[in-house]
């Protein structure tokens, strides 16, 4: 698979896929998409980068161990559920705020941070499996 074309295209493809995955994640509440799908897209992006440049390159680029990313995601999702304590409503009730940035109304919610947590868990878990499997191949 280590053709010149693939190696040249891979970084752009990876970057595009990751941007797309974030896009899919954020629009998920109203259009097709969401944390699960976004996470899968990002995981494939890392897999592609790994196939092109080797596992070490991906690990360096990720900075954190993928499992830590997954762990952080799980923590984030759990904490999003607990946010409802402060509002005095049952666990996992969605909370919404609508702050204005430069005149644009932006909807932020505990549901969204929950979905970001889902995204991170999926990215982290799948990427760590894929990388661990790729590792023996490349070196």
Binding residues (CB under 8 A) for another protein: these are 24, 28-37, 39-41, 43-44, 47, 51, 59, 65, 67, 70-71, 73-74, 77-78, 81, 90-92, 94, 96, 107, 109, 111, 114-115, 117-118, 121-122, 124-126, 128-130, 132-137, 139
Based on CB atoms, which residue is closest to another protein, 11 or 74? Answer: 74
CB of 18 to another protein, least distance (A): 14
CB of 29 to another protein, least distance (A): 4
CB of 38 to another protein, least distance (A): 9
Based on CB atoms, which residue is closest to another protein, 18 or 122? Answer: 122
Residues 6+ apart with CB under 8 A from 30: none
Based on CB atoms, which residue is closest to another protein, 32 or 103? Answer: 32
Do residues 65 and 123 touch, judged by C-beta distance below 8 A? no
Residues 6+ apart with CB under 8 A from 1: 51, 52
Based on CB atoms, which residue is closest to another protein, 57 or 111? Answer: 111
The DSSP string of 65-131 is -HHHHHHHHHHHHHHHHHTHHHHT--TT---EE--EETTEE--EEHHHHHHHHHHHHHHHHHHHHHH
């Amino acid at each position: 698979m280590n053709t010149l074309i693939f190696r040249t295209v891979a970084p752009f493809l990876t970057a595009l896929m990751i941007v797309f995955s974030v896009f899919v994640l954020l629009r998920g509440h109203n259009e097709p998409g969401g944390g699960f799908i976004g996470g899968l897209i990002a995981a494939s992006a890392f897999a592609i980068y790994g196939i092109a440049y080797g596992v070490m390159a991906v690990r360096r680029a990720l900075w954190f161990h993928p499992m830590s990313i997954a762990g952080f995601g799980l923590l984030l999702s759990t904490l999003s559920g607990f946010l409802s304590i402060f509002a005095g409503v049952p666990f996992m009730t969605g909370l919404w705020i609508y702050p204005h940035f430069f005149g644009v109304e932006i909807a932020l919610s505990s549901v969204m941070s929950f979905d970001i947590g889902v995204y991170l868990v999926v990215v982290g878990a799948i990427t760590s499996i894929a990388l661990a499997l790729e590792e023996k191949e490349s070196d």
